Amino acid sequence: MSRQQVTVQLGDRSYPVIVGAGVRVELNSVLPATARRAVIVTQQSIPIQVATDIPSTTVVIGEGEQNKTLSTIEHVVRAFAAAGLNRNDVVIGVGGGLVTDVAGYAAASWHRGTPVVHVSTSLVGMVDAAIGGKTGVNLPEGKNLVGAFWQPHAVLCDTDALATLPERELRCGYGEMAKYHFLTGDDLLAMDRTSRIARCVQIKADIVASDEREGGLRAVLNYGHTLGHALEISTGFEIAHGEAVAVGMIFAAHLAHVLGRIDDERVAYHQQVVAGAYGLSTALPRDCRADDLLALMQADKKALHGLTFVLDGANGVELVADVSTAAVTQALSRMEVR
């Protein structure tokens, strides 16, 4: 099927996510009726351009994580000021996760909240970053430390953009996509690409609808992320986020096995999905020391009650607190090294 639509159900803040080839042409139909002007936030490298029926200006932000900063937010909101944007108007983020996080946070701050529509052009954006209202930027002290929950007015996932996505970015998208295989019993591999993306969106939409502010359930979307974040930091971000999450999910499977939560077959299923179906590397980088990884996981911002992980088990994937360092060390020792 070429076009699919999912609704994120949040009462009077509910919004559509439209997935398919060429869906960017639907942009005008999803803009807020009150909008008289738009500011488009994008990057030079984004292969998709959008056209609006209302007057619009474009602000281009820099490429790469080093530009996900408060100074970029200042640059963007000053473009809003120059355009005379008011809170009945609209911000349009056209790009991957970095663009939609920045555009979303700028929109959340502008006049204390201006509508934002995302046109997502990366796989990570489509299955994760553009959906669910997490916005924000990094500080030198850590990733995504400054931000806001600000739900978009609508999201368009134009799969045409995936044709030119660099191989590594596609891999990162597969890392985020793979996690959805463990969150429900769905046979995602049996679906075509548009249906699979739409199903991932639906799974995330259901989770966000029941736990918008991550009081509990939403944490399952961080499956594989605890070791993943530690790997990103310990390699100086040489390993990209989605690649690190892929390794993190295999570690989470080993840890769940060490804790008696899942059996050998379920561990093998993790390997089959992450490495077999998505072709992702599942081994620890050779230079990463277990002690350093352990210390980084202890410092994780979600570790409010001792070492905390999202783990598979008889009740499905859930947050597990107070995991012993011995279990973590044992699980790390079961990982392949490359």
Q: With contacts defined by CB under 6 A, how many residues of the chain interact with ligand GLY?
A: 5
Residue nearest to ligand GLY (CB): 221
169 and 123 Cβ atoms separated by less than 8 Å: yes
Min CB(291)–ligand GLY separation in Å: 28
Known catalytic membership, residue 26: no
From the CB of 261, what's the least distance to ligand GLY, in Å? 22
Rounded Cα–Cα distance for residues 14 and 254 (Å): 38
Site for ligand GLY in 126-155 (CB under 6 A): 128, 132, 134
Between 225 and 270, name the residue whose CB sits nearer to ligand GLY: 225
Instruction: Choose between 58 and 144: whose C-beta lies nearer to ligand GLY.
Output: 144
The Cα 23–Cα 11 span in angstroms is 25
What are 112's two structure tokens? Answer: 């204390």
Is 24 a residue of the active site?
A: no
The span from the CA of 189 to the CA of 200, in Å, is 12
Shortest distance, CB of residue 132 to ligand GLY, whole angstroms?
4
Residue 204 falls in the annotated catalytic set: yes
Amino acid at 313: G
Residue 87 is given by DSSP the state T
Q: Closest CB to ligand GLY among 3 and 143?
A: 143
In angstroms, give the least distance from the CB of 221 to ligand GLY. 4
Count of residues making up the chain: 338
Tell me, rounded to whole angstroms, the distance of Cα 99 from its chain centroid: 12
Q: Output Rg (C-alpha) for the chain, integer angstroms.
A: 20
261 included as an active-site residue: no
**Closest separation in Å from C-beta 176 to ligand GLY:** 8
Closest to 162 in 3D by CA, of 131, 121, 217: 121
Give min distance, CB of 65 to ligand GLY, in A.
15
Q: CA 309: distance to chain centroid?
A: 18
Give the whole-angstrom CA distance, residue 308 versus residue 328: 10
Question: Judged by CB, which is closer to ligand GLY: 132, or 224?
Answer: 132
Parallel, antiparallel, or unpaired: how do β-strands 116-120 and 154-158 relate? parallel
The question of whether 225 is a catalytic residue gets the answer yes
163 within 8 A of 156, measured Cβ to Cβ: no
Query: DSSP letters along 248-295, please?
Result: HHHHHHHHHHHTTSS-HHHHHHHHIIIIIIT----SBPTT--HHHHHH
* Catalytic site residue from 118, 153, 181, 229: 229
> Binders of ligand GLY among 196-255, rule CB under 6 A?
218, 221
Residue 79 structure tokens: 């473009």
Q: How far is the CB of 157 from ligand GLY (least distance, A)?
A: 15
Chain centroid to Cα 193, Å, comes to 18
134 catalytically annotated: yes
Between residues 38 and 107, which has the closer beta carbon with respect to ligand GLY?
Answer: 107
Active-site residue flag, 112: yes
Among 241, 254, 257, 270, which one carries the catalytic annotation? 241
Using CB under 6 A as the binding rule, whether residue 104 contacts ligand GLY is answered as: no
Q: Give the residue with the Cβ less far from ligand GLY, 199 or 257.
A: 199
Annotated catalytic residue, options 112, 141, 167, 265:
112
Q: Smaller CB distance to ligand GLY: residue 64 or 215?
A: 215
Q: Which residues are catalytic?
A: 112, 134, 176, 204, 214, 218, 222, 225, 229, 241
Interface positions with ligand GLY (CB under 6 A):
128, 132, 134, 218, 221
